[in-house]
Structure 1
Amino acid sequence: MSATEGYAGTDLTIAEVRLTPILVADPPLLNTQGVHQPYTPRLIIEVVTDGGVTGVGETYGDAKYLELARPFGSALTGHRLADVNGLFTLMNNMSVDASRVDRAVDVGGLRGVQTADKLRLSVVSGFEVACLDALGKTLGLPVHALLGGKVRDRVDYSAYLFYKWGAHPEGVAAEADDWGAALDPAGVVAQARKFTERYGFTSFKLKGGVFPPDEEIAAVRALAGAFPGHPLRLDPNGAWSVETSLRVAAELGDVLEYLEDPALGTPAMAEVAAGTSVPLATNMCVTTVAEIAEAFRRDAVQVVLSDHHYWGGLGKTRELAAICGAFGVGVSMHSNTHLGISLAAMTHVAATVPDLHHACDSHYPWQSEDVLTERVAFVDGAVPVSDAPGLGVTLDRDRLDALHARWRDDAHRHLRDRDDGAAMRVAEPGWTAPRVPRW
């Protein structure tokens, strides 16, 4: 009897859900909102079936996510594992504390204004991945097979470059890293060379919005000189006016693969798009299905950067890719601080998207810690697509427990919610996140 036949003859259900919030080390990476905290919160989700199979997922770990994930996890006892669509029905019935919904740019993902629906999708995404992992293990199939099958054997990723301090402020408990500082064009190029030497990346994205535009133009020009012909991207997270965005696009148009969210919001992006031939990408003005119509109608974006965490999971990511394909809009993947579970999930779904013409983003090389027995490996700038059952990763219980112990430690209580502005104020008391447009 095949695994599929065996599954069809049972009523496999979720017997237990385990939620483990953790704090993982994060280097002092700079963005327009501030600087990354020394530790960032993540939530590890385990779905255990009545047959004893465990699937794993991962999502944001801030308090507002935990407060929704806990009752949702409790409601899943007895839920059929294969009823992935039913997860969204259950989640839609969960109430969200209005005070927990951001009214400004969501710092944790730098993705525009957060709503209750976006919060729900960000939580359910981790459960969807865990269910698919458990289902794949039960059937002996990789997750990409559950999504319709892979169309490529490797998924290309881009080096995600940041302006960076050499270390977190003196007196702040933090893990050391060997990346060094990157605060000028030479530092950015040196960082890019390390990414290439360590992981084989051949395309580069610089997180901008940190320094005045002319300094960031110089950094991209330095990258173009050091890596001629390689795809380059610049992402200031909406920190520029329309006028500044157009000036930067004009000055870098010959070397940019695309310019990501130079201005904040669809109307501003549409103005920029109308004045330049440089493709515009976004993970800020198109983050839900409801935001697609205006952006596409106004031709405000030419590449949508999906993130399965806040689109609602892998199935929703495929739906987004299909919509983009129908309208001739490119698609790739955004990344926020994440671990190997999420990288594996990203790779499985990216492997199933036919028109994926841009290397995906990933913060993973910046994370020195993980909850897996083996780190997900980059080979020549790509992650090979696993054909092992489920996601093809194994949870390291000891590492998970250690990172959870850090989260429980009262000394780290103030880090349980990511706040790049608060982290910046440790180094610069009185600092406030600037209003946008910043330049």
Structure 2
Amino acid sequence: MTRDLTITDVRLTPILVADPPLLNTQGVHQPYTPRLIVEVVTADGITGLGETYGDTKYLELARPCAEQLTGRRITDLNGLFTLAGQVAVDDSRVHDALDVGGLRGVQTAGKLRLSVVSAFEVACLDALGQALGLPVHALLGGKVRDAVEYSAYLFYKWAGHPAGVPAERDDWGAALDPAGVVEQARRFTERYGFTSFKLKGGVFPPEEEIAAVRALAEAFPGHPLRLDPNGAWSVETSVQVADALRDVLEYLEDPTLGTRAMADVARRTRVPLATNMCVTTFAEIKEAFTEDAVQVVLSDQHYWGGLRNTQQLAAICRTFGVGVSMHSNTHLGISLAAMTHVAATVPNLHHACDSHYPWQSEDVLTERLTFDGGRVAVPDAPGLGVRLDRDRLEFLHRRWLADDGTLRDRDDAAAMRVAHPDWVTPAVPRW
């Protein structure tokens, strides 16, 4: 039977999902974070799913792109980039500052477009896989592993959002010192079986975070450990921390801002440096690799424009002998499924991937993806292998509709000011 792969409808549903009070160098996560769910519908009634950031600037770009997708075929994946490039971007929403949605360096119109394209590409691949009876990983060339390993993503954390702030309760408790971080890691291990750990740093003075990593090394001897302060440190501080933890770190992620500063640190330490901030587009690769500024690149299908671009990045890393893993931001099961499919096809994926998913108590799927021994089994069902729960989608969309605009754009500094009115986003380097 011949399938009609023409796109007849594209549905965009912005939602707000619960987020715990996780701390980073810019502030704290708000009680709800915006995500955008994309549905691409074919003439045969097949619906493909995609997911990306839901902040207003992404939604404003996604809407005109969605309108122009009708009448195209789901196989025209390359055309998505041309389509997005034809849509104007509001310059007032793109500025020379850290993109708090992922703390991935400066915002640009190009990065904004790629993050929108990524959701459409995943949705088209999901629909195509369903039409052909093939999993997405088969459309990408086939899997080289049956399960993808993920790392426990540890955060300094408050016990709850500030009193009086509407929020969902969580049972993780506070983690504000080495003992709290270790206890959090134990719970991650008990619940999900993770065997490697990443701590989001840049929150407390470096010596306190060194102590936390040392405590993890003592509690979990021989397990891979990572520390990510999101560029909060100077070159000198970065070198000092690297030296202090050189015997326990798998890698140190974005200790300082910018390729040149990272290259300076790399020349002065034996600890591998990873990034999701100074290498987030293909144009940024040449300088970073030429200067040997990074030894591991953390891909993210949202940043890079989808799953096929992620594969291209991995191939370039393999060519230059640079390691590759995957970055994560607050995401739901659609993005985790897409991430797992593409990760399954990357031969040189030698580091466990990051995932926020255990922190997310809400989802839009009929069945949550699960971690077994810290791994997610690669789905072999057609498409992404996940199904949308429309009741949950509608519930989370109603929450977005009810918001007065305060939470429709992620702002960690604003969330911190609820508890600390005098909070100002720290200048970098912070230490």
Q: TM-score range by the shorter chain?
A: over 0.9
- Give distance in 1, aligned partners of 2:142 and 2:63: 32
Whether 1:420 aligns to 2:412 is yes
Whether 1:429 aligns to 2:403 is no
The TM-score with structure 1 as length reference comes to 0.98
Aligned residue in 1 for 2:5: 12
Which runs of at least 4 in structure 1 moved beyond 2 Å after TM superposition? none
Q: Deviations over 1:61-117 (max 9, x none)?
A: 000000000000000000111111111111111110100113211011100001000
Contact 2:326/2:353 (<8 A) preserved: yes
Whether 1:379 aligns to 2:372 is yes
Q: Deviations over 1:186-235 (max 9, x none)?
A: 00000000000000000000000000000000000000000000000000
The TM-score with structure 2 as length reference comes to 0.99
- Give distance in 2, aligned partners of 1:338 and 1:11: 31
Consecutive unaligned residues of structure 1, counting only runs of 5 or more, are 1-5
- Give distance in 1, aligned partners of 2:51 and 2:64: 17
Matched residue type, 2:425: A
Aligned residue in 2 for 1:113: 106
Aligned residue in 2 for 1:161: 154
Whether 1:150 aligns to 2:143 is yes
Give SS of 2:405's match: helix
- Give distance in 1, aligned partners of 2:11 and 2:239: 49
Give SS of 1:158's match: strand
Whether 1:55 aligns to 2:48 is yes
Whether 1:391 aligns to 2:384 is yes
Q: Deviations over 1:284-335 (max 9, x none)?
A: 0000000000000000000000000010000000000000000000000000
Matched residue type, 1:422: A
Matched residue type, 1:424: M
1:14-413 map, 5 Å: 14-410=7-403, 412-413=404-405
- Give distance in 2, aligned partners of 1:420 and 1:252: 28
Quote how far apart the aligned CAs of 1:413 are. 2.3
Aligned length: 431
Matched residue type, 2:418: V
Whether 1:438 aligns to 2:415 is no
Matched residue type, 1:423: A
Report sequence identity in percent: 80
Consecutive unaligned residues of structure 2, counting only runs of 5 or more, are none
Contact 2:4/2:43 (<8 A) preserved: no
Matched residue type, 1:46: E
- Give distance in 2, aligned partners of 1:323 and 1:306: 12
Matched residue type, 1:158: S
Contact 2:37/2:49 (<8 A) preserved: yes
Contact 2:97/2:106 (<8 A) preserved: yes
